[in-house]
């Protein structure tokens, strides 16, 4: 005899109503299966009626999640619910016959949630591959966002840092400093040179930052740029500093 099997997603909140519905239909409770998965413990409730096995799946049950018991409809489920609690650490409320964590005599608490180093490494690898795939899928949008930004900010083109900024009217400045103490003249010129060097380094830093932003999520990159522009507006200009 071949049994027909089907799998149906299920939310925890829907479990009591499902159990009552299955009871009313005359279905038979077959088993409760727990699987230690990536996002938590998956629970699969299996019922049988007219030669059809229906598996209702609850995904990713965490340590703080409380699952309602179905023993008010199917008393035989108490065995499975106590087992799932003891072996997987799943909290199940209102079990008709509750062993309070003593269904099994265990040396290790929740032993079925322990994974081997190989399993842990495989999960880490899978997470990294998924993250790399997601980053690759975001690249076209990131490049488009960068192109749009650079179109409105010509000075921010990556790889094209601006050269040292020479103070305007340098000849006039020399004329004005002609009668000034030589030591003071040297300090003024050193300050101007330092300012020009800092401006050049800032431009180079902006270009490098743009390269990094190109690989970021477009929305996050836009927020970073907006924060930098706001910071630049708050800082006093070089002219204002000189006048202080």
Which residue has tokens 């842990």? 120
Predicted confidence band of residue 169 (pLDDT cuts 50, 70, 90): low
Say what the pLDDT of residue 158 is.
56
Check: CB of residue 70 under 8 Å from CB of residue 59.
no
pTM over 0.85, yes/no: no
- Count the neighbouring beta carbons within 10 Å of the beta carbon of residue 90: 24
Pick from 16-30, 91-105, 164-178: least confident: 164-178
Q: What is the CA radius of gyration of the chain?
A: 34
Query: Which has more pLDDT, 223 or 171?
Result: 223
- A 10 A CB-CB count for 25 gives 10
Contact (CB, 8 A) for 87 and 114 = no
Residue whose C-alpha is closest to residue 177's, from 191, 163, 165: 191
pLDDT tops 80 at residue 94: yes
Residue 106 has pLDDT above 50, yes or no: yes
Look at 38-52, 144-158, 164-178, 195-209 and tell me which has the smallest mean pLDDT: 164-178
Average pLDDT, stretch 137-148? Answer: 78
Q: What's the full length of the chain, in residues? A: 244
Average pLDDT score over residue span 64-84: 96
Residue 96 DSSP class: S
pLDDT at 165 over 50: no
pLDDT in tens, 111-135: 777 666 776 677 677 778 878 888 8
If pLDDT is split at 50, 70 and 90, which confidence band does 222 have? confident
What's the whole-number mean pLDDT along residues 32-56? 94
Where helices occur in the chain by DSSP H, the ranges are 15-25, 77-88, 117-152, 170-176, 182-214, 218-234, 238-243
Question: Virtual CA dihedral for 108, 111, 115, 117, nearest 10 degrees?
Answer: 20
Was domain 4-113 assigned CATH 1.10.10.10?
no
pLDDT at residue number 79: 96
Q: Which residues pair with 197 in a beta bridge?
A: none
Nearest to 94 by CA among 73, 112, 77, 69: 69
Judge whether 55 and 45 are in contact, CB under 8 Å: yes
Domain residue ranges of the chain, discontinuous segments joined by +: 4-113, 120-243
Give the integer Cα–Cα distance in Å for 214 and 235. 26
Q: Kindly report which listed range (10-24, 179-193, 223-237) carries the lowest average pLDDT score.
A: 223-237
């Amino acid at each position: 005899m071949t049994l027909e099997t089907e799998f149906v997603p299920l939310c925890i909140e829907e479990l009591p109503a499902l159990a009552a519905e299955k009871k009313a239909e005359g279905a038979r409770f077959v088993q409760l299966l727990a699987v230690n998965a990536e996002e938590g413990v998956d629970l699969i409730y299996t019922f049988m009626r007219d030669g059809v096995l229906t598996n209702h799946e609850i995904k990713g049950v965490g340590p703080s999640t409380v699952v309602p018991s179905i023993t008010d409809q199917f008393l035989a489920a108490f065995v499975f619910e106590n087992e799932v609690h003891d072996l997987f650490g799943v909290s199940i409320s209102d079990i008709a016959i509750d062993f309070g964590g003593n269904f099994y005599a265990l040396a290790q608490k929740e032993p079925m949630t322990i994974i081997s180093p190989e399993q842990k490494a495989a999960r880490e690898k899978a997470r990294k591959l998924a993250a790399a795939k997601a980053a690759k899928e975001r690249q076209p949008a990131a490049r488009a966002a960068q192109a749009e930004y650079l179109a409105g900010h010509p000075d921010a083109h990556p790889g094209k840092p601006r050269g040292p900024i020479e103070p305007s009217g340098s000849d006039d400045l020399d004329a004005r400093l002609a009668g000034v103490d030589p030591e003071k003249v040297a300090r003024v010129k050193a300050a101007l040179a330092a300012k020009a060097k800092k401006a050049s380094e800032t431009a180079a830093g902006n270009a490098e930052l743009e390269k990094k932003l190109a690989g970021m999520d477009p929305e996050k990159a836009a927020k970073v740029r907006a924060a930098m522009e706001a910071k630049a507006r708050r800082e006093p200009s070089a002219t204002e500093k000189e006048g202080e």
